[in-house]
Structure 1
């Protein structure tokens, strides 16, 4: 399996990359991002591309992939709806539209979030924008598309968040998260589970396109 990975420097993306490199059936992981990764692996190809709204210059490097794991995302804190929509909807759809045209056989997995509103009418700005993004992705002619809606995610294997406030929170709650996860395994996920579940749906699909935290946990558990 050949995998395209967006957002490999973020917390979820780091975890997904680890699982992809561990997977015996993944022959290539190609990262697309504005900055180079600080790691190397025989299965890893790092493509630095700064214009995330236009992929025409690298289209030849985006063909022949079986799956795309889109883990790129930003916090909505301090942003207007227009700014957040640009960074969430516009950038995601620019990549997805290109990939759907080049790889109709592809499974596309998008990291959304718990509380996303598919009706696009929610009072929370981020929930509306995420819902609009999900809806647009599900209309594209991919082999399959899955919207992952995690809530709390525990970083494992040295993974760190790029958002300083989140990393401080994870550091402070590190002793508690394993205990909470043991009590609420269907609510609190890990970066490892996210990666394993993405690989599982790329291999075998899932029963529905929108997957909440409990669904993600069940898929990863079954895959293991």
Structure 2
């Protein structure tokens, strides 16, 4: 199966890593990125739409048909913003995009990056984890093929430019952390490969922790 993927969030660290893996993968035929600002990546299989309002996709909706995957890497940290704003961006925006894509591509495989510690019960102590859990649960109700990715510490891919400010100070920890606690560490290459494999091969679990991401990335 050839993958035709829509990717969001490619001006961020996770989305850029997934994009690079898709562009390097022989089974990815087309990639469409939707960004608020130009991502600065050029490739024969890549098309970019600049669109600032993700709550109003009507102007570009016709351009979103014909894809069999969405790798949703768009997100914000809960640090420094109100609970209401975090929910609006994390839950409301993601669900709006998901509903549009489910309507235009009903057989689409939808991969959502939430994160380790996400609360599926939606009743835990941490507000961000409850919101992420609610988002996961809603997406699994919209898409027949929805996979929730819960990575922890991710090693950037070679050539990445959009790295978080803290990353350069902690990147050296990866080999040590991976050796001591492999369940908490993976690479962005593994995240991207695993997403591609959800489309091609599927996976028995709909929620993928780090060990699942690594295993699916290695699946041949």
Please say whether Structure 1 and Structure 2 have the same fold, judged by a TM-score greater than 0.5: yes
Q: Deviations over 1:116-138 (max 9, x none)?
A: 11111111110010011011101
Give the deviation of 1:160 after TM superposition.
4.5
1:51 paired to 2:48: no
Q: Partner of 2:211: helix, strand, or coil?
A: helix
Alignment match, 1:220: 217
Structure 1: unaligned runs, 5 residues or longer: none
Alignment match, 1:174: 171
Alignment match, 2:146: 145
Distance (Å, rounded) in 2 between the aligned partners of 1:160 and 1:187: 23
Q: Partner of 2:132: helix, strand, or coil?
A: helix
Q: Partner of 2:146: helix, strand, or coil?
A: strand
Q: Deviations over 1:164-219 (max 9, x none)?
A: xxx23x21222231232244333201111110110011111110111111111111
- Mapped contact 1:185–1:217 kept (Cα < 8 A): no
Alignment match, 1:62: 64
Number of matched pairs: 218
Residues 46-55 or 213-222, more deviating: 213-222
Alignment match, 1:158: 159
Alignment match, 1:106: 108
Q: Deviations over 1:124-160 (max 9, x none)?
A: 11001001101110110x3400000111111121325
Give the deviation of 1:222 after TM superposition.
2.4
- Mapped contact 1:186–1:217 kept (Cα < 8 A): no
* Pick aligned residue for 1:189 from 186, 190, 195: 186
1:5-84 matches, within 5 Å, as 5-84=7-86
Q: Partner of 2:70: helix, strand, or coil?
A: strand
Distance (Å, rounded) in 1 between the aligned partners of 2:173 and 2:26: 33
RMSD: 1.3
Q: Partner of 1:123: helix, strand, or coil?
A: coil
Distance (Å, rounded) in 2 between the aligned partners of 1:29 and 1:179: 34
- Mapped contact 2:16–2:162 kept (Cα < 8 A): no
Structure 2: unaligned runs, 5 residues or longer: none
- Mapped contact 1:5–1:69 kept (Cα < 8 A): yes
User: Normalised by the size of structure 1, how large is the TM-score?
Assistant: 0.93
